[in-house]
């Protein structure tokens, strides 16, 4: 009987729960020196000088380096060449100009671990202040007509890279070509600018690195990452050396959430220092450094316009995006491309268009963060659907029901070029509503409204479709796996994916076990060592099971083919007369089961392994519906999340325990964006959320037990029938919770509250609505302080 689809418990956990993991900071590296970065304390300034002479006298200091020392090294180039302005690259240590608070300016190297913090204080950086550009909208407008701006004047105009004449890092679509007649014929048109705020990935393990150069001139770098092979490439690019000279090892990773792909300038500096000083070097950042230095997520301002008829049919939708890319374009600058791709979501909207601009600002760079571009698309369309429903006085569930794409089993091409593989969006909505007891919830809400209860009930919906496993590889996205059977009856799997909480060691073993009949606990899964596994796409975009898992299955099947020939030789039989029985993990002659040979025995004389590459025809499109139920105190503005009910259809589920764990984590993370988390800068570009005292994140006490309904619509894009589940939670839950908060207050005239729906924002929205109802203007919003 197959173990696929069963709740096999994580084989990873006994180690984590007993001896604990081995994180980068735990890697033993005798004689290593320690790095402490000196970071910019101002958002935008020209560097007049950096004086490290006092720091060099401090106890334990071995060396100190500035941007000038690294002048010969390449810079960190923006990703996605051709789409993002390649000239907005980041020097490994700032040279002439700093562009955000936290930017590495110098590095102090010490023998003892904690000596660097004091020594770094002694580094004297003389800044010539330049005006910071904190707001993306201001950044977008700066530099118009100053293409040939002279030195100094352009900076005064608010340009981060004056020689480029503009802060625009990337543009998607042509804003000038937006159709003037898009909303013609609509009975109702609603438009609103909404904020998908900047959030911090805040992994439990901050960024770190350890590096040592061998006598052979090769570098070994231990870095927590989402794909050793991608990290090796980033390091090679920044250090200006060939990838063959680098070995990247991935120790245990304490959370990544999209933010540990590739490598950051700090990682490259650690490697450079180790070479320069001819001794191992290591670095681990503090929580504050992490909150201001690790690329943030989201950071979009969206203008949604939605139009249709009073019967609830949506006929036109427009999405205009302003992406804050932060000081140096990272993946954040490119993410609007994914937002646009998924703009219409699961709906059949006859006319839809979307455009975006990414701009640089004097703030921490923005990167990929769980969902990366897709949660922003869902948030926009789901808020728009509710705005439209409110305008026509319709039930939000009814409006969605009316506009969802009908069930399809053949791929469906959207107007934005996405090829949805399979979907039944209406079924997901109905299952979610039934599981939630939607009608009863509406009754309860009506009662509370009628009685004027101080605590009102809100019900929020979010229907989504997302893209998982996208890839630009020619021929289709792919991943490799090697499966080897050993003579002692155990097996080893090498994978190009890089789990950091997703449980691949368990599931990859399940997939091989299912084919080979070797027990899960006798299968070891290895990843994250570029010498052992030179190629691999890593873990991100919820690609791992559908490509990496499929490769494991494929390699296992091909291994049986290889073994069959050896079994035929051993048994002196015709290969075609042999049957492999996974139950006993042995080949036997058909009709004569006593003539058999165990699989493991076939590995005795010669190694028995197969490396396979699985290539997918394309990305897959998981979908679902989330329902959130909140209580909102209308006197204090406090939001309490009461229930979250979700349908997350990721095709065939291989291990429900792990898939549910992924949903739980994602839902919590997404909900936190809706009512809690926000990275805030003041008008000078100073980060105000630089510690966990100021940057709140969700704990188990703020969330209810999640109610997960099952739904599995297999995809034909891989033999497993699986789509990705790793990001679904963050995509569905955020708009559901936000919509629920607003829904609780809809009868009081509230139409929108930007995230996070903090007590202050909720209270302010109630006050504005009350003032509007009584014909008075509300006093101005006291500000976007969380």
| Min CB(712)–ligand MCN separation in Å | 8
Q: Which two tokens stand for residue 268?
A: 């490259």
| Min CB(714)–ligand MCN separation in Å | 9
User: In a 3-state reduction of DSSP, which class is residue 153?
Assistant: helix
| Closest CB to ligand MCN among residues 12, 386 | 12
| Min CB(469)–ligand MCN separation in Å | 8
Q: Using H for helix, E for strand and C for coil, what is the string for 303-359? A: EEEEEECCCCCEEEEEEEEEEEEECCCCHHHHCHHHHHHCCCCCECCCEEEEEEEEE
| Min CB(465)–ligand MCN separation in Å | 15
User: In a 3-state reduction of DSSP, which class is residue 20?
Assistant: coil
| Min CB(363)–ligand MCN separation in Å | 22
Other Cβ atoms less than 10 A from the Cβ of 775: the count is: 6
| Min CB(2)–ligand MCN separation in Å | 13
Bridge partners, residue 620, by sequence: 468
Phi, psi of 500 (to 5 degrees): -145, 50
Q: From start to end of 124-217, where are the E strands?
A: 124-129, 168-172, 188-199, 208-213
User: In a 3-state reduction of DSSP, which class is residue 9?
Assistant: coil
Answer for the pair 251, 26: CB distance below 8 angstroms, yes or no.
yes
Edge-to-edge strand ranges of the sheet holding 104-110: 61-66, 104-110, 33-39, 281-284, 208-213, 219-222, 246-249
Q: What is the DSSP string of 256-320?
A: -TTTTSS--HHHHHHHHHHHHHTS-EEEE--HHHHHHHS-BEEEEEEEEEEEE-TTS-EEEEEEE
| Min CB(675)–ligand MCN separation in Å | 21
| Closest CB to ligand MCN among residues 100, 331 | 331
| Closest CB to ligand MCN among residues 42, 654 | 654
| Closest CB to ligand MCN among residues 91, 477 | 477
| Min CB(747)–ligand MCN separation in Å | 37
| Min CB(502)–ligand MCN separation in Å | 4
Query: What is the distance between the alpha carbons of residues 715 and 650, in angstroms, rounded to a whole number?
Result: 9
| Min CB(258)–ligand MCN separation in Å | 4
- Label residue 180 exposed, middle or buried (CB < 10 Å: 0-12, 13-18, 19+): exposed
| Closest CB to ligand MCN among residues 544, 673 | 544
Sorted by sequence, the CB contacts under 8 Å of residue 439 that are 6+ apart come out as: none
User: In a 3-state reduction of DSSP, which class is residue 624?
Assistant: strand
Residues lying near ligand MCN in the complex (CB under 6 A) are found at 255-258, 370, 500-504, 507, 539-545, 549, 650-655, 658-659, 662, 665, 722-727
Residue number closest to ligand MCN, CB atom: 501
Phi, psi of 771 (to 5 degrees): -65, -40
Query: What is the distance between the alpha carbons of residues 503 and 680, in angstroms, rounded to a whole number?
Result: 34
| Closest CB to ligand MCN among residues 162, 373 | 373
Query: What is the distance between the alpha carbons of residues 218 and 495, in angstroms, rounded to a whole number?
Result: 23
| Closest CB to ligand MCN among residues 198, 723 | 723
Query: What is the distance between the alpha carbons of residues 639 and 696, in angstroms, rounded to a whole number?
Result: 15
| Min CB(624)–ligand MCN separation in Å | 12
| Closest CB to ligand MCN among residues 510, 750 | 510
């Amino acid at each position: 009987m197959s173990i696929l689809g069963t709740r096999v418990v994580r084989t990873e956990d006994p180690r984590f729960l007993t001896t604990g993991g081995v994180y980068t900071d735990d890697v033993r590296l005798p004689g290593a020196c320690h790095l402490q970065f000196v970071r910019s304390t101002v958002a935008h300034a020209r560097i007049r000088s950096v004086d490290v002479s006092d720091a060099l006298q401090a106890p334990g200091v071995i060396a100190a380096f500035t941007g000038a020392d690294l002048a010969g090294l390449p810079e960190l180039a923006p990703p996605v060449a051709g789409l993002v302005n390649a000239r907005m690259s980041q020097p490994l240590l700032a040279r002439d100009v700093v562009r955000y608070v936290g930017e590495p300016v110098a590095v102090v190297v010490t023998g003892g671990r904690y000596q660097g913090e004091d020594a770094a204080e002694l580094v004297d950086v003389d800044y010539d202040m330049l005006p910071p550009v904190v707001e993306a909208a201001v950044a977008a407008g700066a530099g118009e007509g100053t293409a040939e701006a002279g030195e100094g004047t352009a900076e005064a105009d608010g340009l981060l890279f004056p020689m480029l004449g503009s802060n625009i890092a990337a543009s998607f679509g042509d804003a000038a070509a937006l159709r003037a007649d898009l909303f013609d014929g609509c009975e109702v048109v609603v438009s609103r600018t909404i904020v998908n705020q900047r959030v911090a990935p805040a992994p439990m393990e901050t960024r770190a690195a350890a590096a040592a150069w061998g006598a052979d001139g090769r570098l070994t770098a231990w870095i927590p990452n989402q794909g050793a092979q991608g990290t090796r490439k980033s390091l090679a690019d920044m250090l200006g050396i060939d990838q063959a000279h680098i070995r990247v090892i991935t120790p245990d990773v304490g959370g990544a959430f999209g933010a540990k792909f590739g490598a950051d300038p700090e990682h490259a500096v650690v490697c450079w220092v180790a070479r320069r000083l001819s001794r191992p070097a290591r670095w681990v950042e503090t929580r504050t450094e992490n909150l201001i230095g690790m690329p943030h997520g989201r950071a979009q301002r969206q203008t949604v316009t939605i139009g249709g008829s009073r019967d609830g049919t949506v006929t036109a939708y427009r999405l205009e995006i302003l992406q804050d890319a932060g000081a140096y374009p990272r993946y954040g600058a490119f993410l609007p491309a994914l937002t646009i791709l998924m703009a219409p979501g699961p709906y059949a909207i006859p006319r839809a268009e979307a455009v975006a601009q990414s701009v640089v600002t004097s703030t921490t760079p923005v990167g990929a963060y769980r969902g990366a571009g897709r949660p922003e698309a869902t948030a926009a369309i789901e808020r728009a659907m509710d705005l439209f429903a409110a305008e026509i006085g319709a039930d939000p569930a009814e409006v969605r029901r009316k506009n969802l794409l009908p069930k399809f089993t053949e791929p469906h091409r959207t107007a934005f070029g996405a090829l949805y593989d399979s979907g039944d969006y209406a079924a997901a909505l109905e299952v979610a509503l039934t599981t939630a007891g939607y009608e009863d919830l509406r009754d309860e809400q009506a009662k509370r409204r009628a009685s004027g209860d101080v605590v009102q009930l809100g019900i929020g919906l979010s229907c989504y479709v997302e893209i998982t496993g996208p890839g630009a590889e020619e021929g289709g996205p792919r991943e490799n796996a090697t499966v080897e059977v050993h003579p002692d009856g155990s097996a080893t799997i090498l994978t190009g994916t890089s789990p950091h909480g997703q449980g691949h060691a368990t599931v990859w073993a399940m997939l091989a076990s299912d084919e080979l009949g070797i027990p899960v606990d006798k299968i070891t899964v290895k990843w994250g060592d570029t010498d052992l596994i030179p190629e691999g796409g890593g873990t991100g975009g919820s690609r791992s099971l559908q490509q990496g898992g499929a490769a494991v299955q494929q390699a296992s099947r091909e291994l049986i083919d290889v073994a069959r020939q050896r079994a035929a030789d051993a048994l002196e039989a015709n290969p075609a007369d042999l049957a492999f029985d996974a139950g006993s993990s042995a080949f036997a002659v058909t009709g004569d089961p006593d003539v058999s040979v165990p699989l493991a025995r076939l590995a005795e004389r010669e190694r028995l392994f197969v490396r396979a590459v699985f290539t997918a025809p394309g990305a897959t499109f998981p979908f679902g519906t989330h329902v959130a139920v909140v209580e909102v105190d209308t006197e204090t503005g406090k939001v309490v999340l009461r229930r979250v009910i979700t349908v997350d259809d990721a095709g065939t589920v291989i291990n429900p325990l792990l898939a549910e764990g992924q949903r739980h984590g994602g839902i919590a993370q997404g909900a936190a964006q809706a009512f809690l988390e926000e990275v805030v800068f003041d008008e000078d570009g100073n980060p105000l959320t630089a510690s966990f005292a100021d940057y709140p994140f969700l704990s188990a006490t703020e969330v209810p037990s999640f109610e997960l309904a099952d739904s599995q619509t297999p995809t034909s894009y891989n033999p497993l029938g699986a789509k990705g589940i790793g990001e679904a939670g963050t995509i569905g839950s955020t708009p559901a919770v936000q919509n629920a908060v607003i829904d609780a207050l809809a009868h009081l005239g509230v139409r929108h509250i930007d995230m996070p729906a903090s007590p202050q924002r909720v209270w302010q929205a109630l006050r504005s609505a009350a003032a509007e109802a009584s014909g008075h203007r509300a006093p101005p919003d006291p500000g976007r302080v969380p």
